[in-house]
Amino acid sequence: MLKRCLLLLSLPLFLAACAPTAQQQADYSAVERAGVSPAIYDKMIHGDPLSVSDIVELNHARVNDGIVIRYIRDHGTVYVLSHDDIDYLQHNGVSPSVIDFMVQTNPNPYGPPPGPGPVIYPPPIAIGGGVGGGGWGRWH
């Protein structure tokens, strides 16, 4: 009985965590109104990573840079961009702020790329912070 009560109490919290925020809903509505392809809109609704060409299409549809950056940030997409990718984005009018944000998502810009396209990394974890202090990335 206790397990059942806990399940019923935790279910709304779980569902609320999965539901899009009001900001995300507004962003999705703006993307839909901009007339992007159904494939890209569907990717965004499902939280899938956007490819470099998807970013270009969002730019051609005149989707606000803030929406694009928020989507990349909120979904943890990491881009490993080649010089050709950056040239492609620039030649298609993608703003420097979006390109810079995409470049900054790569935690290892000087290491070997894991492969083409966006890569999803798990969220960062805290190091330390237990008994005796600690902190983010501090050596003890």
Mean pLDDT, contiguous 10-residue spans, the chain (140 residues): 53 53 83 88 91 95 94 92 94 96 85 59 46 43
Q: Number of folded domains in the chain?
A: 1
Place of tokens 């925020």: 21
Say what the pLDDT of residue 14 is: 47
Say what the pLDDT of residue 133 is: 44
Asked if residue 5 belongs to a domain, the reply is no
Asked if residue 52 belongs to a domain, the reply is yes
Asked if residue 9 belongs to a domain, the reply is no
pLDDT in tens, 78-95: 999 999 999 999 999 999
Between the alpha carbon of residue 124 and those of residues 40, 52, 137, the distances in Å are 27, 24, 11
Say what the pLDDT of residue 127 is: 44
Domain span at residue 97 reads 22-107
Say what the pLDDT of residue 134 is: 43
